[in-house]
Amino acid sequence: MITFEQLNQQNHEIMELSRVLNYLISDRLICDTCTARDVFFSYIDSAREHLELEDKEIYANLLGKGDTDARNVADRFMSGSREIKRMLDQHMKRWAYPGRKELRIGDHNGFVTDTQELTQLIQDRIVAETEHLYPVIRRITGSAVYAS
């Protein structure tokens, strides 16, 4: 079982990493540091883990026990999750060496723009989870503590 506290903690970590990452990569010299690289991969890993956790723990409950509104919300968030995962994969293919935790940034401005767009999309997703998904889960489960 997953709790709302765990989901909110993951969201907080992703948001924090997002802000730090965007700050670090804005300067080309800092962007090339091990610290920036580590934050980048921590961000990507945290975002993926959060989406995977939601896939495993949340949507089946909404689809199986929920009303039409809950199923529609689950469908929208599952679709969004697939799209974000696809974008994460594309981002990694473009800016990281396959199988290694190493960045390859030939176009710094392009990397910054792509990363900022990705982090903004994920930030918007986190806000939508908090405002739309979690209230539906609370209504369906009847729990203010457990999300699944």
pLDDT means over runs of 10, the chain (148 residues) = 93 98 98 97 98 93 86 96 98 96 96 98 98 93 78
Quote the DSSP letter at residue 26: T
- Please give the Cα distance from 119 to 114 (Å, whole number): 9
Tokens of 52: 């995977």
Tokens of 30: 């800092």
Q: Give the end-to-end CA distance of the chain in Å, rounded to a whole number.
A: 6
- Superfamily of the domain at 4-141: nmb1532 protein domain like (1.20.120.520)
Q: Which two tokens stand for residue 32?
A: 């090339």
pLDDT score at 65 = 81
Query: How many CB atoms sit inside 10 A of residue 125's CB?
Result: 21
The DSSP annotation for 33-96 comes to: SHHHHHHHHHHHHHHHHHHHHHHHHTHHHHHHH--HHHHHHHHHHHHHHHHHHHHHHHHHHHHB
User: How much is the pTM?
Assistant: 0.93
State whether residue 31 is helix, strand or coil.
helix
Kindly give, in sequence order, each residue whose CB lies less than 8 Å from that of residue 71, ignoring residues fewer than 6 positions away.
62, 63
pLDDT value at position 148?
Answer: 67
